[in-house]
Amino acid sequence: MPRRGLILQTRTHWLLLGLALLCSLILFLYLLECAPQTDGNASLPGIVGENYGKEYYQALLQEQEEHYQTRATSLKRQIAQLKQELQEMSEKMRSLQERKNVGANGIGYQGNKEQAPSDLLEFLHSQIDKAEVSIGAKLPSEYGVIPFESFTLMKVFQLEMGLTRHPEEKPVRKDKRDELVEVIEAGLEVINNPDEDDEQEDEDGPLGEKLVFNENDFIEGYYRTERDKGTLYELFFKKADLTEYRHVTLFRPFGPLMKVKSEMIDITRSIINIIVPLAERTEAFAQFMQNFSESNFHNYTLVSLNEEFNRGRGLNVGARAWDKGEVLMFFCDVDIYFSAEFLNSCRLNAEPGKKVFYPVVFSLYNPAIVYANLDVPPPVEQQLVHKKDSGFWRDFGFGMTCQYRSDFLTIGGFDMEVKGWGGEDVHLYRKYLHGDLIVIRTPVPGLFHLWHEKRCADELTPEQYRMCIQSKAMNEASHSHLGMLVFREEIETHLHKQAYRTNSESVG
């Protein structure tokens, strides 16, 4: 790519030099034509031997002067026209060079004729270098993490809900819809018209035609905004009859979208070890294994420990029990329901020595409260919906994670000093935040935490007990449902008064 730019620059220099020489030649001819005669033997025009008066020669000089003025004006006009053409050619060459640079590093807007100057492009690239795009940023704690929001072609899954926003919604605001549509179209442009430096191979369709991706091949995407740098987009595309995914990374540094990279990912041979620590909870384990079997997974190994339950200890043992080299691990709990699509997301968003995946689980509320109007709550499969009154994004939990075994061992695994419930997952999460790996933190639609009654043991430390009670309170019901329970007596009193008033009016 730099060599092609050098050749283009050399051609531009030779073109400018040629145009300058042409202008000089025209100016030289003009001077020769306008110069007076220097031959001393030259006679005045006219017929030899005839006498001409003064008026004749004055008229002749006037005619010649007008002729030369007309010729000079014509030459000046031609020179001005050549200068204008030279300037236009220089601007076109500079525009082509800038467009080439933008095409190699960014995605311009269709119909935008003005290209960013070189100093602006340098600034935009510096924003990418400063943002957490290619390497993880060292953060002091989990509170410094900027989470991703995930989206599909029709829905956005957002963490910052508030009381009026929903965990899953169609983007209502036009600017948000237009933004996501533009990003998907830009990703398709990168895939369908790859550059030489893109990490993907040209593929042909079933009939030998060029393989073209469209918006229906978009699987999922993630985005997050660093308010002082810009917005990062991670996009994944896949055709139904192909095994490989296309991954495109884009960045918007508060300006035009810039392509960071494009690559092909084959996850067909990526094995996942699902590690589940368990103490008692046999009924929950039976439900988990039923879901596990329905997903066509049958290979499992039971590692038993005759000691006091310690979640971090159990996960450490499970991670080290694998002796066949590198493998992707999913640390899971027995009350988690996950889909096969989630496992694909796990494979796509973890990379050894590069990225660890910390999905945000959608935690379901107590079905006895959510479905209080029904005699019996519906089956578990029908409860798996992203509704405001059915559950919430468990953004304070870090127990579900996908990471490679080598990264887990390099960072030192779990802290064995943490006993009982909670805390060990936060310690591991903070270790990654203090390192160089990129932490992908985002809500994932295919991962659910099933409700179960929580018991906070007396032997927990005050900090652990507070965390346990807080988790227990948030797991019960939505804000509105809890409000209805709190004000249940007032509601019943109101209904009683309304019924009494209606009966009185009917009797009267």
**How many other C-beta atoms can be found within 10 angstroms of the C-beta atom of residue 367?**
17
- Average of pLDDT values for 299-321? 87
CA distances in angstroms from 187 to 122, 132, 175, listed in the order given: 22, 20, 18
Dihedral (Cα; 303, 307, 309, 311), 10-degree rounding: -50
pLDDT by residue (tens digit) across 180-190? 999 999 999 99
Q: Look at residue 108 and tell me whether its pLDDT is greater than 50.
A: no
CA angle, 335 then 322 then 406, to 5°: 95
pLDDT by residue (tens digit) across 283-295? 888 878 877 766 6
On average, the pLDDT of the chain sits at: 80
Q: Look at residue 503 and tell me whether its pLDDT is greater than 70.
A: yes
Q: Which of 427 and 87 is assigned the larger pLDDT?
A: 427
Q: Is 265 exposed, middle or buried (0-12, 13-18, 19+ CB in 10 A)?
A: middle
Amino acid identity of 391? Answer: G
Closest CA to 408 of 425, 420, 423: 425
Amino acid identity of 368? Answer: A
Please tell me the predicted confidence (pLDDT) of residue 118.
Answer: 66
Length of the chain: 508
Between CA 75 and CA 25 the distance in angstroms is: 12
Model pTM?
0.59
Closest CA to 328 of 310, 348, 313, 308: 348
Q: Look at residue 57 and tell me whether its pLDDT is greater than 70.
A: no
